Amino acid sequence: MRSYILNNIEIGERIREIRKKQGMSREAFSEMINISEIFLGQIERGERSLSITTLASISFATGVSTEYILFGVSENNTTMKKIINILEKSPDNMREYVYKILLSSFSFFKSNKEESKK
């Protein structure tokens, strides 16, 4: 089972990207998913969280998976599919080991990215 941390700013950015790829204004998109234009703006800026109903409406109306909207996980990511396939066939202790390696690597790259900004 995967665990993710929700980030409202990233979710909002993905929703804005989806809306723009659909060629829709904020007004038209908000009407389509049955929320106010103001609320959609707040979601897109990461100021507010979206409900499950709104998430489902966006997914249904656009054909974009909820997993992508919430976590940025693309269904077409073949590398991710390969990793998941390997992990699904692995014993739990191996999954935990791989998780720790990934977490450590993520922390390392994040700290190096922050250091390079200084």
* Structure tokens, 75: 């269904």
* pTM exceeds 0.75 for this model: no
Sequential pLDDT tens for the chain (118 residues): 455 678 999 999 999 999 999 999 999 999 999 999 999 999 999 999 999 999 999 999 988 889 899 998 876 666 766 777 788 888 999 999 998 998 899 888 877 766 666 5
Residues 6+ apart with CB under 8 A from 37: 26, 27, 30
For tokens 């249904």, what's the residue? Answer: 60
Q: Which two tokens stand for residue 43?
A: 């979601």
What distance in Å separates the CA atoms of residue 71 and residue 75, rounded to the nearest whole number? 11
pLDDT for 99 equals 87
